């Protein structure tokens, strides 16, 4: 098992917790800042150098920012981390996944995508930033590209499915409030959201269950396949977002 963290101390704590809880000592920690495309490239290179096989890739990065922020690549942070980072990482690891088939890709999306309407001319939200709009459009973009990639992978032995983990109480978004407000926010949100353990159940189901071994191109909510927004099935829009994403991560389009 390989886990990815941005922070060495927090990542090491998570690695040790997994080892103790599971009894599996073969847990590796790789460090990466997913807001940096150079860091994503280095992450992929390090993995490919160390490991010959990749059977399951779970993309579960996310930010929720009240203010428009740019990455080192001069991209809007929410779109860059929530969509472009997993998009790029998946592309960089795709041949290893195919060589390891049967293999699975699991993309953690969100029910927020139902409220999103992509404006292709303003994916970077320069014409008016809104925290919910930014988050929702990043998850819709992930879903659109996931559906396209799932079709591309048919017959390859690699499946790709998306999921909604529901509202899970984590520290995501806590950087948006001050120290005093954090304690109040955590107390309220802990009552409203499910635990990270419960929130991870659908991800684990899609990653490991034999019931979905041959299932691909679906969106799951609480272990059940569910239809997504009408916009997410628009194949012309899927192609547009895919092309824009490839350009933003500086990868060549397929011949």
**Token pair for 131:** 């925290």
List the one residue out of 73, 66, 76 whose CA is nearest residue 125.
Answer: 76
In Å, the largest CA–CA distance within the chain is: 54
3 state DSSP class of 186: helix
Do 42 and 18 share a structural domain?
no
Q: Which is catalytic among the residues 51, 114, 129, 135?
A: 135
Quick count: other Cβ atoms within 10 Å of Cβ 152? 13
Do 19 and 70 share a structural domain?
no
Do 141 and 45 share a structural domain?
yes
CB 162 within 8 A of CB 107: yes
Distance of CA 4 to the CA centre of its chain: 12
Per-residue pLDDT tens, the chain, 255 aa: give them.
Answer: 999 999 999 999 999 999 999 999 999 999 999 999 999 999 999 999 999 999 999 999 899 999 999 999 999 999 999 999 999 999 999 999 999 999 999 999 999 999 999 999 999 999 989 999 999 999 999 999 999 999 999 999 999 999 999 865 555 544 554 555 444 433 444 444 567 678 789 999 999 999 999 999 999 999 999 999 999 999 999 999 999 999 999 999 874
Report pTM.
0.88
- Does 114 participate in catalysis according to the annotation? no
| Distance from C-alpha of 3 to C-alpha of 15, rounded to nearest angstrom | 7
Give the range of the structural domain holding residue 54, as residue numbers without chain letter. 37-165+200-248
Do 90 and 138 share a structural domain?
yes
How many domains would you assign to the chain? Answer: 2
Do 229 and 135 share a structural domain?
yes
> Is 195 within a domain?
no
Q: Which strand ranges, in their side-by-side order, compose the sheet holding 56-59?
A: 56-59, 103-108, 158-164, 219-221, 224-225
> Is 179 within a domain?
no
Do 56 and 12 share a structural domain?
no
CB 79 within 8 A of CB 138: yes
> Is 175 within a domain?
no
Omega of the bond leading into 154 within 30 degrees of 0 (cis):
no
> Is 18 within a domain?
yes
Do 137 and 240 share a structural domain?
yes
| Distance from C-alpha of 169 to C-alpha of 254, rounded to nearest angstrom | 39
Do 121 and 87 share a structural domain?
yes
> Is 187 within a domain?
no
> Is 181 within a domain?
no
3 state DSSP class of 79: helix
Do 65 and 18 share a structural domain?
no
> Is 128 within a domain?
yes
Quick count: other Cβ atoms within 10 Å of Cβ 176? 15
Kindly report the CATH number assigned to the domain that includes residue 55. Answer: 3.40.50.720
Do 111 and 231 share a structural domain?
yes
Predicted confidence at residue 61, as pLDDT, reads: 86
Do 90 and 5 share a structural domain?
no
For 116-181, the DSSP string reads ----GGGTT-TT---HHHHHHHHHHHHHHHHHHHHHHTTTTTEEEEEEE--SB-SSTTGGGS-HHH
Do 74 and 25 share a structural domain?
no
> Is 22 within a domain?
yes
Beta bridge partners of 70: 76
List the one residue out of 76, 188, 182 whose CA is nearest residue 130.
Answer: 76
């Amino acid at each position: 098992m390989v886990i990815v963290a941005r922070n060495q101390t927090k990542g090491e704590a998570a690695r040790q917790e997994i080892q103790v809880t599971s009894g599996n000592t073969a847990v590796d920690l790789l460090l990466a800042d997913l807001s940096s495309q150079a860091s994503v490239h280095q992450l992929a290179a390090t993995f490919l150098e160390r490991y010959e096989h990749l059977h399951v890739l779970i993309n579960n990065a996310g930010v929720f920012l009240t203010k428009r922020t740019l990455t080192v690549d001069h991209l809007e942070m929410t779109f860059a981390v929530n969509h472009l980072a997993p998009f790029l990482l998946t592309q960089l690891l795709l041949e290893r996944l195919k060589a390891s088939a049967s293999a699975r890709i699991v993309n953690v999306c969100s029910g927020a995508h139902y409220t999103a309407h992509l404006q292709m001319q303003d994916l970077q939200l320069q014409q008016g930033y809104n925290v919910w709009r930014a988050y929702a459009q990043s998850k819709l973009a992930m879903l659109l590209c996931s559906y396209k990639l799932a079709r591309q992978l048919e017959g390859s032995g690699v499946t790709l499915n998306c999921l909604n983990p529901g509202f899970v109480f984590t520290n995501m978004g806590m950087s948006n409030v001050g120290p005093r407000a954090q304690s109040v926010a955590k107390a309220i949100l802990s009552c409203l959201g499910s635990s990270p353990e419960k929130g991870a159940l659908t991800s684990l189901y899609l990653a490991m269950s034999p019931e979905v071994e041959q299932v691909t191109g679906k969106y799951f909510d609480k272990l059940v396949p569910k239809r997504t927004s009408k916009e997410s099935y628009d194949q012309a829009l899927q192609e547009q977002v895919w092309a824009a994403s490839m350009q933003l991560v500086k990868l060549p389009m397929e011949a």
